Structure 1
Amino acid sequence: MSLNQTNLAELALSIKRWGQELGFAEIRITDVDLSHAEAGLQAWLDAGMHGEMEYMAAHGMKRARPAELVPGTVRVVSARMNYLPRDTENDWRAREQARLADPGAAVISIYARGRDYHKVLRARLQQLADKVKAEIGDFGYRVFTDSAPVMELPLAEKAGLGWRGKHTLLLSRTAGSMFFMGEFLVDLPLPVDQPTGAHCGQCSSCITACPTQAILGPGRLDARRCISYLTIELKHAIPVALRPLIGNRVYGCDDCQTVCPWNKFAQRAVLPDFDQRHGLGHASMVELFAWTEDEFNRKMEGSPIRRIGHQRWLRNLAVGLGNAAAAGARGDAAIVAALLARRDDPSPLVREHVEWALGCHFVQDNGAI
């Protein structure tokens, strides 16, 4: 099919319509020029703020040059998909804050309570690409969902899906930040959309709320201090100085999002994939700490949490249980019993964090364990 400017404009509108039919909240299109983002990326990498995320530096500036990643690319189709579970209450932000205030509660990032978004978005993006192919015939493309060296946030911002908030996440005036993003790179010169501009104003709630002060200033994040990094990306021991600041957050952290005023507009998912599974929105740390490796693998099948493995799961929970013991949580005896049961765990990583957690109880109790 020969595509002129009229055909391309009509195709762009069709892509956006098909995207919504597939469960995406919004589809926008941009070109591939990210030269404005290269200096910031290099400075962040040079400062070592990516920590152990070697993949962030592995491809050099190719991350900011989509046409080098997939030769022939001239446009990026950027998509977002809401992930708040369909039964989310209107006062969900207050509920999340209440969970944080309960020392024995296992707080897991909302996005991780359902199915692995990588699989869901990638499959839907592929279906979208298939629709384009059915319409125009073969074309060059590649779909991504947080799975390749692509600077998806700057691309999404340039496409007009939102703006980078001071916490570095993408914000939408109509949907806050509780959404996933994905994109596919195409060799079609589709008409591009325009950016929206930033709307954070003087608000700095996200910076103030960060438990570990990982947000150094507007748009400046030191991942090495971020609880999401510490509980998900970090493969080794969590720095002792940061453990008390993690509280009961055992997988990820939503604090900068729950305090953001724009998230009063956050939208619920339209797909059942992101509904809460295995009670992860109201589980206790003692309950989850008792899972065997087989239980963990079985219950976390299809979940993003499974990627960290049982050892790091126990590591994170041990830190949370230690903080709960230090806070004199209700059911303290059960917390100590749970920790003692893992004192001889085969994993040195788990044992070290369990000993630290038991030490928190010793300090709080002012006596021997």
Structure 2
Amino acid sequence: MQSTSPQSTSGDPMHVTEPTETSHLLEQVLMEMKKVIVGQDRMIERMLVALLARGHVLLEGVPGVAKTLAVETLGTVVGGTSARLQFTPDLVPSDIVGTRVYRPSTERFDVELGPVFANLVLADEINRAPAKVQSALLEVMAERQVSIGGMTYPLPKPFLVLATQNPIESEGVYLLPEAQRDRFLLKVDVPHPGMSEELEIVRRMSVRPPRAAQVLDTAQLLAAQDEVDSVFVHHAVSEYAVRLVMVTRDPAAWKAPELAPLIASGASPRGSLGLVQGARALALLRGRRYVLPQDVTDLAVDVLAHRIVLSYDALADAVPARSIVEKALAVVAPPVVAPAQAASAA
């Protein structure tokens, strides 16, 4: 593991930003976003975690809780290109990934790339898209490429899909299949603001809404993503993340037999990978080059809940998936890794 000394060990001018500078830049990103978004600190933090961890994020909440505004603000602050896709039931795959167009003047087909070729893609109301569009989006999210006419076109770097969905509407809505949900690193529930926050929203947004300034460019963002990969994770912390996933697969073996009738299928290995990589990003965002068990605990619900397939009994009783993850957190004790110990190991 590299030393945590602030001195650079590379003479390359394109060397990644030093940890202290990166953390300072990320703090600026948070502050700029909070100029526009009142409250919703957890949502903002999780969006940055997904961006740094090269994952995708699904924001679920009722209309008017700043989901779309938060995504647009993030695009402004981190630079790069962005695109907004308003999903509707009549959408077809070529509307988002592109298509071949015949040119009579040249007597050949040209490829017109779709709007997904951007650094930040906002998939607004993703659950309104039909199955064909959602399957086309699977390749975009998982492989970061698009296949058109036998040719493969890579998406730009960095690339992030931020999708929103409204949980209270049922007409004209296509529920996301398990395979699609599993592609999202995080699923974040966005609640209504509190009384004091709503008063601040009225004061701040009713006359001349504030605008965020750009803090990062794409090169700095890619450097920050590379730095996330070098954040130290103690073996005991990795094991803690895996144990949490194992509880969702075989609850009885992990002293939670009451969960067995509620779970049809537990979290996939992407859950373990997402917990560790997300914890790395969260640690860097909090100014550390090492992961603490608390980082894993803080992300567990957002990373694992949407990957659990509930049984019919759980669906009939309206058991929330997050309660299963909370139970897993209760039965799996976090390891005792002192900050000083983790810092010295890093």
Question: TM-score when scaled to structure 2?
Answer: 0.28
Question: TM-score when scaled to structure 1?
Answer: 0.26
